Amino acid sequence: MTPISYRNSLVEKFQSKSATVAVIGLGYVGLPLLLRFVEVGFKVIGIDVHASKVDALLTGKSYIRHIPSDRLAKALATKRVQAGSDYALTAQADAIIICVPTPLNEHREPDLSYITNTMEALVPFLKEGQLLSLESTTYPGTTAEEIVPRVERSKLKVGQDAFVVFSPEREDPGNQKFETQTIPKVVGGTTKACLDVGVALYSQVIGKVVPVTSTQTAEMAKLLENIYRSVNIGLVNELKQVADRMNIDIWEVIEAASTKPFGFTPFFPGPGLGGHCIPIDPFYLTWKAREYGVNTRFIELAGEVNTAMPEWVYGKVAEALNSRSKAVRGSRILLLGTAYKKNIDDMRESPALRLFELLTERGASVSYSDPFVPSVQIAGKTQESVKMDSSTLKNQDCVLLVTDHDSFDYKMILEDSSLIVDTRGRFRNQSSKVVPA
């Protein structure tokens, strides 16, 4: 086939939904995307190195709280779902979408091993007439530097008989207003033909597709989204500390500023950043920027402020206990909520983990309660969530609200706790035993 024929053939397959789509990585990004493709009529192949996720998918048991099991069961009932851990399955696919983690290493530098290992495993099974899309957040140039050379190593010419795009994931677990199909999809292609094919694929499952001129532009766009949030959260976290010293209610300040109908977007303080994006992604750009001789001081400063927030919250806990003539050492402290944000079960980069460590290291007897997180690993030890009831609350020297899940009984917490340190503004102006943090 000619390059134009490969392009036209793929576009036609996507538009007719006769294509098979493989999704690699069945986590918070990959699983909802796979389900969306099934729901509009595509055959899908799910691939994950964790057999437990594959088994759960094939038995219709969801392992992600905000994705109900009946949605998996309905997908399985279509008979259009395959899943496994063998990359050879991708030889059947017309499109391969990579949704693997991109963490930082111990030196706070990008760890692309999940992407590169995936590509190495894929190379033997790549074939003519396939689209390869990377969705994992990464620094500008990753697709061109890490994906394209590996595709072309398999004797395929990108833009002619194989097609490569970058289309950043934008999932927001637990968001009730937006889901996979309603969040606009940015797509950048290695070539114009690649972009055409990528847009044709995503247009079948996403309401609005936003094409951009290159994979680098798409990569940078995702980083800008997350850096924007990181910088503004860092700003409001710093202002919280200033307001605290001045005895000003930062939440009231934000409410007042939010009445301006233009030029202001409210951001809210907390105990620190969590999740798979905002605490990590800005450092992908700062690392890459050094290659070009640019110091991203603004971005790094915001990261420093946000990273230090658990230590500031710890200080507020120590100060609150001290006002009751108690030390941190020996005090019983209950953390309420450990997920990185409310109403989800995602623990990735949660500031609660650092708070747990800080309090334990200084001799406190620490427990936690989270209806969505039955257990956590802290310093190599498994901690189980305790039942939050009147007896548990009354037995604490301090209750630290870290994640304000809507399902918590806040009236009971206020009535039965002797001291509350509130990092979320949930108990504003309600009692003298509440300390804002």
pLDDT digits (tens, 9 = 90+) for 116-158: 999 999 999 999 999 999 999 999 999 999 999 999 998 899 9
Question: Which amino acid makes up residue 97?
Answer: I
Question: Which amino acid makes up residue 431?
Answer: S
pLDDT for the residue numbered 276: 79
CATH node for 3-213: 3.40.50.720
| pLDDT tens for the 437 residues of the chain, in order | 777 889 999 999 999 999 999 999 999 999 999 999 999 999 999 999 999 999 999 999 999 988 999 999 999 999 999 999 999 999 999 999 999 999 998 888 899 999 999 999 999 999 999 999 999 999 999 999 999 999 999 889 999 999 999 999 998 887 888 999 999 999 999 999 999 999 999 999 999 999 999 999 999 999 999 999 999 999 999 999 999 999 999 999 999 999 999 999 999 999 999 987 888 999 999 999 999 999 999 999 999 999 999 999 999 999 999 999 999 999 999 999 999 999 999 999 999 999 999 999 999 999 999 999 999 988 778 999 999 999 999 999 999 999 999 999 999 999 999 999 999 999 998 999 999 99
pLDDT for the residue numbered 255: 97
pLDDT for the residue numbered 381: 87
Alpha carbon distance 127, 105 (integer Å): 33
> Residue 40: exposed, middle, or buried by beta-carbon count in 10 A (0-12, 13-18, 19+)?
exposed
DSSP 195-226: HHHHHHHHTTT-S-EEEES-HHHHHHHHHHHH
> Residue 67: exposed, middle, or buried by beta-carbon count in 10 A (0-12, 13-18, 19+)?
middle
Tokens of 73: 């069961």
Alpha carbon distance 42, 81 (integer Å): 9
Q: Coil, helix or strand for 292?
A: coil
Spans of all domains in the chain: 3-213, 223-289+295-303, 308-436
Sorted by sequence, the CB contacts under 8 Å of residue 137 that are 6+ apart come out as 102, 168, 169, 222, 223, 226, 277, 280, 281, 284
Alpha carbon distance 3, 221 (integer Å): 29
pLDDT for the residue numbered 378: 82
Tokens of 5: 């024929």
- 21 closest CA partner among 36, 3, 2: 36
Alpha carbon distance 137, 99 (integer Å): 9
* 223-289+295-303 shares the fold of 3-213: no
> Residue 80: exposed, middle, or buried by beta-carbon count in 10 A (0-12, 13-18, 19+)?
middle
Superfamily holding 308-436:
NAD(P)-binding Rossmann-like Domain (3.40.50.720)
Q: φ and ψ at 355, to 5 degrees?
A: -65, -40
Sorted by sequence, the CB contacts under 8 Å of residue 175 that are 6+ apart come out as none
**Active-site pick, 99, 194, 277, 398:** 277
Span 176-195, pLDDT tens digits: 889 999 999 999 999 999 99
211: β partners? 187
Sorted by sequence, the CB contacts under 8 Å of residue 266 that are 6+ apart come out as 254, 257, 258
If residue 107 lies in a helix (H) or strand (E), which one and from where to where?
none
pLDDT for the residue numbered 106: 84
Sorted by sequence, the CB contacts under 8 Å of residue 18 that are 6+ apart come out as none
Distances (CA, A) of 413 to 31, 313, 371, 410: 36, 19, 15, 5
Alpha helices in 277-409 (DSSP H): 281-291, 297-307, 309-323, 351-361, 390-394
pLDDT for the residue numbered 1: 73
Cα-Cα-Cα-Cα dihedral sign, residues 248, 250, 251, 254: positive
- 425 closest CA partner among 157, 243, 287, 167: 243
The neighbour count for residue 377, using CB atoms within 10 Å, is 10
277: annotated active-site residue: yes
User: What is the 8-class DSSP label of residue 161?
Assistant: T
pLDDT for the residue numbered 429: 86
Cα-Cα-Cα-Cα dihedral sign, residues 344, 234, 284, 203: positive
Alpha carbon distance 62, 72 (integer Å): 7
* Phi-psi domain of 381 (left: phi exceeds 0; alpha: psi -120 through 50; beta: other): beta
CATH class of 223-289+295-303: mainly alpha
Alpha carbon distance 15, 200 (integer Å): 7
pLDDT for the residue numbered 174: 79
Cα-Cα-Cα-Cα dihedral sign, residues 297, 113, 49, 11: positive
Tokens of 358: 């800080």
pLDDT for the residue numbered 380: 79
The neighbour count for residue 428, using CB atoms within 10 Å, is 13
Alpha carbon distance 371, 122 (integer Å): 39
User: Taking the model in full, what pTM does it have?
Assistant: 0.93
Residue 218 CA from chain centroid, whole number:
18
Under 8 Å between Cβ of 161 and 197: no
